[in-house]
């Protein structure tokens, strides 16, 4: 057994806790160090995960010669700067979603990756769920034919995160479009075979969060100063003629207590829904349509753990990045255009690369 890759996590809050076990159980990696500007986090990381190397100095992690992988779990606005610095220091980087708040940021990260020859992956954990993998395999085998339309949404009622990481532009850059939007757009594009977006008509709004007494089911009152979008929607055109409609909300009078998260894809041979993994088809000779559910095998690992395991395996084996930055660039181009379309009130054309 070769030496395990040592992982340093920067940003020890919510998502870092979701992923820590993934690094611990990896055959190829081990959790070695953590960094947060808030040292109150350290007791928990020391007692829960046994980490002794804990620091408030980001550069101490990035320049530590013992660290092989840096996992960036800080607010969105730090992703580009930290990823570029870590790649330039010779580290492999997994960075939380959104890879960067803008396409320009992702292009800088891709340039740093190419300079360093190290691996860069976006932490899009939806792709690592058993349901998404099963559907992707079926689609890649041709079950839907030519996919010409998709719909994807993640709608929450009274479900705004209230941490500064998410609700202030200074840290988040933007709101639910970036937060939940990247998940549903990334999954839809991946299932569609990564078509290139060419135009977006979008809307981004803040309506309920700024009402007097506005609340979230996670922590009571929504803090003053909330300055990002709480609802976003877009119609996207692709170079192959396909279209995608997305809707995401933290706050919407949507009559469902649970998060409503769905992706629908429609092709020339069939359609499907995620996460149910039901394929809808028809037989023109028999004049009948029918549904069939994919047989799913249970994955013993949670998607947040599986993504760490797969990243470490890819680094150890010299395999391609499990979620390449180029695919996240297309997601970011859509989001850039969504916010620009909100400003201009017009469809935004995405120039070809």
Q: In what order do the strands lie in the sheet with 260-267?
A: 288-293, 278-283, 271-274, 260-267, 147-155, 243-249, 231-238, 197-205, 348-349
Residue 140 CB-density burial (10 A; 0-12 exposed, 13-18 middle, 19+ buried): exposed
Nearest residue to 226 (alpha-carbon basis) of 240, 215, 241, 242: 215
Q: Minimal CB distance to ligand NAD: which residue? A: 13
Report the residue from 7, 58, 86, 87 that binds ligand NAD according to the rule CB under 6 A: 58
Answer whether 140's CB lies under 8 Å from 133's CB: no
Rounded CA separation 99/91 (Å) = 16
- Binding of ligand NAD at residue 176 (CB under 6 A)? no
Question: What is the smallest separation between the CB atom of 198 and ligand NAD, expressed in angstroms?
Answer: 27
- Binding of ligand NAD at residue 240 (CB under 6 A)? no
- Binding of ligand NAD at residue 12 (CB under 6 A)? yes
- Binding of ligand NAD at residue 335 (CB under 6 A)? no
Q: Which of residues 112-141 bind ligand NAD (CB under 6 A)?
A: 123, 125
What pairs with residue 216 in β-bridges? Answer: 220
Rounded CA separation 218/160 (Å) = 7
Report the residue from 29, 33, 67, 73 that binds ligand NAD according to the rule CB under 6 A: 73
Report the residue from 7, 23, 36, 330 that binds ligand NAD according to the rule CB under 6 A: 36
Take residue 189 and report the two structure tokens written for it: 């594009």
Question: What is the smallest separation between the CB atom of 44 and ligand NAD, expressed in angstroms?
Answer: 10
Report the residue from 76, 116, 249, 330 that binds ligand NAD according to the rule CB under 6 A: 76
Query: Site for ligand NAD (CB under 6 A): how many residues?
Result: 25
Closest to ligand NAD by CB, 100 or 192: 100
Stretch that binds ligand NAD, among 10-18, 129-137, 194-202, 345-353 (CB under 6 A): 10-18
Q: Which of residues 253-292 bind ligand NAD (CB under 6 A)?
A: none
Report the residue from 6, 28, 91, 97 that binds ligand NAD according to the rule CB under 6 A: 97
Q: Are strands 5-10 and 69-72 parallel, antiparallel or unpaired?
A: parallel
Convert 296-310 to b/e letters by CB count within 10 Å (16 or more is b).
eeeeebebbbbbbbb
- Binding of ligand NAD at residue 229 (CB under 6 A)? no
Question: What is the smallest separation between the CB atom of 183 and ligand NAD, expressed in angstroms?
Answer: 7
Give Cα 191 distance to the centre of its chain: 14
DSSP letters, 244-258, are EEEEEESS---S-SS
Q: How far is CA 36 from CA 76, 217, 220, in A?
A: 15, 27, 26
- Binding of ligand NAD at residue 228 (CB under 6 A)? no
- Binding of ligand NAD at residue 248 (CB under 6 A)? no
- Binding of ligand NAD at residue 37 (CB under 6 A)? yes
- Binding of ligand NAD at residue 179 (CB under 6 A)? yes
- Binding of ligand NAD at residue 249 (CB under 6 A)? no
Q: Which residues bind ligand NAD (CB under 6 A)?
A: 10-16, 35-38, 41, 58, 73-76, 78, 96-97, 123, 125, 163, 165, 179
């Amino acid at each position: 057994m070769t030496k395990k890759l040592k992982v340093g996590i920067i940003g020890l809050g919510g998502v870092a806790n979701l992923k820590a076990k993934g690094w611990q159980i990896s055959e190829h990696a081990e959790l070695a160090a953590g960094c947060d500007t808030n040292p109150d986090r350290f007791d928990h990381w020391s007692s829960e995960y046994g980490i002794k190397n804990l620091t408030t100095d980001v550069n101490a992690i990035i320049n530590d010669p013992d660290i092989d992988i840096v996992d960036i779990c800080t607010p969105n606005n730090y992703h580009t700067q930290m990823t570029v610095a870590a790649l330039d220091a010779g580290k492999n980087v997994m960075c939380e979603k959104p890879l960067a708040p803008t396409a320009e940021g992702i292009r800088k990260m891709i340039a740093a990756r190419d300079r360093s020859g190290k691996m860069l992956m976006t932490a899009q954990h939806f792709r690592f769920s058993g349901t998404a993998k099963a559907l992707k395999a079926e689609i890649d085998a041709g079950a839907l034919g030519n996919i010409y339309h998709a719909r994807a949404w993640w709608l929450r009622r009274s479900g705004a995160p209230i941490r500064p990481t998410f609700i202030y532009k200074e840290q988040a850059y933007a709101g639910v479009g970036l937060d939940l939007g990247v998940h549903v757009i990334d999954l839809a594009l991946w299932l569609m075979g990564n078509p290139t977006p060419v135009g977006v008509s979008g809307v981004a709004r803040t309506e309920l969060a700024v009402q007097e007494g506005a609340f979230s089911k996670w922590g009571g009152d929504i803090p003053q100063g909330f300055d990002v979008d709480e609802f976003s929607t877009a119609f996207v055109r692709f170079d192959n003629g396909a279209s995608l409609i997305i809707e995401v909300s933290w706050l919407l009078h949507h009559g469902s207590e649970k998060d409503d998260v769905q992706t629908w894809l429609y092709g020339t041979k069939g359609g499907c829904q995620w996460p149910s993994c039901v394929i809808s088809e028809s037989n023109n000779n028999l004049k009948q349509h029918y549904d069939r559910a994919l047989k799913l095998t249970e994955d013993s690992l949670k998607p947040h753990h599986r993504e760490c395991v797969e990243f470490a395996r890819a680094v150890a084996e010299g395999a391609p990045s499990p979620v390449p930055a180029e695919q996240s660039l297309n997601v970011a181009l859509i989001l850039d255009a969504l916010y620009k379309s909100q400003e201009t009130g017009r469809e935004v054309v995405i120039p070809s690369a």
